[in-house]
A and B are shown apart, each in its own frame.
Chain A
Amino acid sequence: MTDRLVQLAANKRARTVITTLGLPVPLPQTLKRGEGGWSERPLADRAVVVASAANPELTDILARTLPLAGAEPWLVDTPFEPFAAAGEAWGRRPHDGATGPDKPWAIVVDATGVRSPADLRGLYDLLHPRVRGIARSGRIVVLGRPMSAEDVPAVAACRQALDGFVRSVGREVGRKGATANLITVAAGAEERLAPTLRWVLSPRSAYLSGQPLHVSAAVRATSDVAARPLEGKVALVTGAARGIGASIARRMGEEGAQVVVLDRPDDAELASGVARACGGRFLPCDVTSPDAADTITSFLREHYGRVDVVVHNAGVTRDRTLAKMKPERWDLVLDVNLAAVIELTAALDDLLADDGRVVCLSSIAGISGNVGQTNYAASKAGVIGFVRALAPRLAERGIAVNAIAPGFIETRLTDAIPVATREVARRLCNLSQGGLPVDIAEAATFLASPGAHGLSGQVVRVCGGNFVGA
């Protein structure tokens, strides 16, 4: 479970020796991650460069979001006035970004006004001189408008160009533990940018890189909450006895949720421990058993009368190449990973509260496919289709439905991979290291928060910018 290279790279002397000798050893940066719960000012005292390409459209939103989140704004080609007013209120007056800062935590490029290839040059002009200076574990975020087939083709081209640009920047800054991501903001959804931007700029998105997030107004709006986002919410987390599920349960408990820790009765001991740690309740249940839906709904009804957040995390692998795979292996994986998700969602429909959140765990294998995982990849791709179709159906009730596709995460599952394969797999991403369960838990917590009302029907890849998959 320990990544020796991350440890080695964290040793200054070893780092110097390896880089001086030019040894071909990857030196992954120890990533900065969030500590404790969400705070009102997740970007406290961090220098954030706000640079605008042609005709920025989000300046006012950024001026209201960044100083409030505690960031020190440094402006490049960006209107000063909105930032001056916010700076006065929060004691975060804007600085001239032409002269600094040294090693900014983040660079936010407002490229919402990009409409022609000439406008795209702005991205180069703004980031070319600054990309090297980004802090370790820093953030580059490009803000754009969503590409749609209804766009004038030239405009659509430029909007799609941002996607390729960000993916490549992510590959380049990964050495420093820094990430690059794209957030598109649909017309009319501008007011919903803040929570997503705060999360992407914060250390809580450590393992998110090279990804597009699309903020839209599809879901009925709820109000943004900066701290303790899950206070008063009832969250059901399946497969929560260990690994990613346990981490999700703990993080959600920390943010104020009443967590229902669901796992198989065999794992009672572990699951009860998780429930104790997150102040929640253990619900013993095998999601594939015929009476699972009844057990879960009656438990929720009895104790809470509703559920606000459902995290479909329970999952199994039974790897074999297709030719060698026994039918039981196929059936089990499809039952746990897909059929149970579909059935449980249907059973919970009455109990799922308005403004609720559904988070399904997919996998990068569901996007790229993998040798020996026909069953697993089919189930995880199925989850993506499920999320996309379910999202618009629940939007009117204010319920956001999203999937998280983890990349290589250091868990019991990945520990079982043979050493050589594991060592290679870890390095196949921008950040040259595996993620931690908490990275997925942070994403799930964000997607469960009221502020995630801008995102629905999406697949958020938390994969460190994995080299495989679309």
Chain B
Amino acid sequence: MSPRKKKPAARRAVIVGGARTPFVRAFGDFVKIDTIGLGVAAVRGLLDRTRVPWGELDSIVWGGVILPPTAPNVGREIALDLGLPASVEAMTVTRACASGLQAITLAAAAIERGDADVVIAGGSDSTSNAPVTMPQSLVHKAAPVALSGKSGPRDYLKLLGEISLRNDLIPSKPEIAERSTGQLMGEACEDMAERNQVSREAQDAFALTSHQRAAAAMAAGRFDDEIVPVTNPDGKTVFADQLVRGDTTLEKLGKLRAAFKKGGTLTAGNSSALTDGGAAVLLMSEEKAKELGMQPLAAFKSWSYVGVDPADQLLIGPALAMPGALERAGMTLDQIDVVDMHEAFAAQVLSVLGALESDAFAKERLGRDGAVGRVDPDKLNLHGGSLALGHPFGATGARMVLTMANELGRTDAKTALLGLCAAGGLGAGAVMEAVD
């Protein structure tokens, strides 16, 4: 959490553009497109929109959460599928829901170190294509027989006798559960809502705003430069985000049942949904942008990643990471023009906002005299967030960077603060600035 002890970067990485797929509810129109396919769609859109010469590309840094077991380096597969020059090397990283931001900050760091000039960074996830794994017990019983050249019919018969229908053949339900605590993320957030006294009404109201702002942004064409239409293998073309419900109301949200706990306050309406999608941005050194005649939109002033005990408040990390990023940028919250926070759950965002406003939190947890400050609701998630747009894990951070880069490049806003929570008790924060 201490300010970075290093000389000011000699080079600066700038974001010059980007693209993303529409975000679509899992098991919907993108069910037949895997995470690599979603990445290909986003990067292809980026290449078409920015017209960056392919020969200038150094690498792809990609983020993902559900990585395909047979091809975990999604970034490289994207490059190969697109037919980019073989020299465009790639890596793939995961930092749970902050993977997209992680990929982008890694790319910025590589450029600022002088390791690369032009990098595509982003992330994608297809929750529709999460592998349904065979129970490990079955694998352990069957593999020695199936993989041995000496196995005869008798061995297979014996194996059949050992397999239990209930324990070995029924695959476990895929859920977003913390490995260390076994708790579902929604259950953990339900605890947070209770402990931070976040009411159902406040959560629903927050979700409503998210939907209304996202709907307004869509209607105003705000996402037109960001989203690239994607045609699925069945020939259907998706042009826009599909989860946004601009016409929802507090009444409708209020009628939804608690999703994670009897008598709880988290519902499908105030929690982000399982989503398929991909997003990418193009980063390059400032000199290279000048050389290529590309207009920079934004750059990073700082970033910060933190960890908290997942058994305590799993998703409170941004309350530590956002002040951390501000401190490294040498800024205070009131110098920030726009704030973009990942909305895993309304209760999670409201818990974090409460912590940022709390003097006691600042004193105890940040060692500061007073609160970080109040985030003005009019500056927060201007065009909606994950509650309305959806949350394809690895893509979300890249989606936020893309939207904020456009905000900084095209409006009077000069500075943006990002905050993301992630599984494992991780938190991420970043400060972006406009580039003149």
Contact = CB atoms under 8 A, between A and B. Distances in A.
A91 B195 contact: yes
A41 B360 contact: no
A91 B363 CA distance: 14
A70 B361 contact: no
Contacts of A86: 360, 364
Contact of B195 (A41, A68, A85, A93): A93
Contact of B196 (A70, A85, A91): A91
A44 interface: yes
A89 B195 contact: no
B197 interface: yes
A44 B308 CA distance: 14
A40 B309 contact: yes
B364 A44 contact: no
B314 to A, nearest CB: 11
Nearest to B316: A91
B309 A90 contact: no
B308 to A, nearest CB: 10
Interface string A330-373: 00000000000000000000000000000000000000000000
A455 B358 CA distance: 35
A88 interface: yes
Interface string A75-119: 000000000011011111100000000000000000000000000
B365 interface: yes
B67 interface: no
A85 B360 contact: yes
A89 B309 contact: no
A88 B361 CA distance: 6
Interface string B163-202: 0000000000000000000000000000010011100000
A44 B312 contact: yes
A289 B360 CA distance: 58
Interface in B271-328: 309, 311-313, 316
B364 A41 contact: no
A89 B360 contact: yes
A44 B313 CA distance: 11
A360 to B, nearest CB: 36
Contact of B363 (A68, A70, A89, A93): A89
B312 A93 contact: no
Contacts of B313: 91
Q: In which size bucket is the chain A interface?
A: 10 to 19
Contacts of B309: 40-41
Nearest to B357: A88
Contacts of B192: 91
Query: Which among B192, B358, B360 has the greatest number of chain A C-beta atoms within 10 A?
Result: B360
Interface in A181-202: none
A90 B358 CA distance: 11
Interface string A135-164: 000000000000000000000000000000
B197 to A, nearest CB: 6
B311 A44 contact: yes
Nearest to B365: A89
Query: Which among A85, A86, A91 has the greatest number of chain B C-beta atoms within 10 A?
Result: A91
Nearest to B313: A91
Contacts of B195: 91-93
A68 B312 CA distance: 11
Given A93-B195, A93-B197, A88 B358 contact: yes
Query: Which among A41, A86, A88, A93 has the greatest number of chain B C-beta atoms within 10 A?
Result: A88
Contacts of B358: 88-89
Given A41-B312, A44-B312, A70-B312, A90 B364 contact: yes
A453 to B, nearest CB: 22
A90 B316 CA distance: 10
B319 to A, nearest CB: 10
Interface in B346-373: 351, 354, 358-361, 363-365
Contacts of A70: 312
Contacts of A85: 359-360
Contacts of B360: 85-86, 88-89
Contacts of B196: 91, 93
A468 B158 CA distance: 63
Nearest to B351: A91
Nearest to A70: B312
Interface in A16-58: 40-41, 44
Contacts of A91: 192, 195-196, 312-313, 316, 351
Contacts of B361: 88-89
Contacts of A44: 311-312
Contacts of B351: 91
A88 B359 CA distance: 9
A40 B359 CA distance: 22
Contacts of A90: 364-365
Contacts of A40: 309
A93 B195 CA distance: 7
A419 B308 CA distance: 51
B70 to A, nearest CB: 37
* Leading 8 A-B pairs by shortest Cβ distance: A89-B364, A91-B195, A85-B360, A89-B360, A88-B360, A89-B361, A88-B358, A91-B313
Interface of B: 192, 195-197, 309, 311-313, 316, 351, 354, 358-361, 363-365
Given A41-B309, A85-B360, A91-B351, 6 more contacts: A68-B364, A85-B359, A88-B360, A89-B358, A92-B195, A93-B197
Interface of A: 40-41, 44, 68, 70, 85-86, 88-93
29 contacts: A41-B309, A41-B311, A41-B312, A44-B312, A68-B364, A70-B312, A85-B359, A85-B360, A86-B360, A86-B364, A88-B354, A88-B358, A88-B360, A88-B361, A89-B360, A89-B361, A89-B363, A89-B364, A90-B364, A90-B365, A91-B192, A91-B195, A91-B196, A91-B312, A91-B313, A91-B316, A92-B195, A93-B196, A93-B197
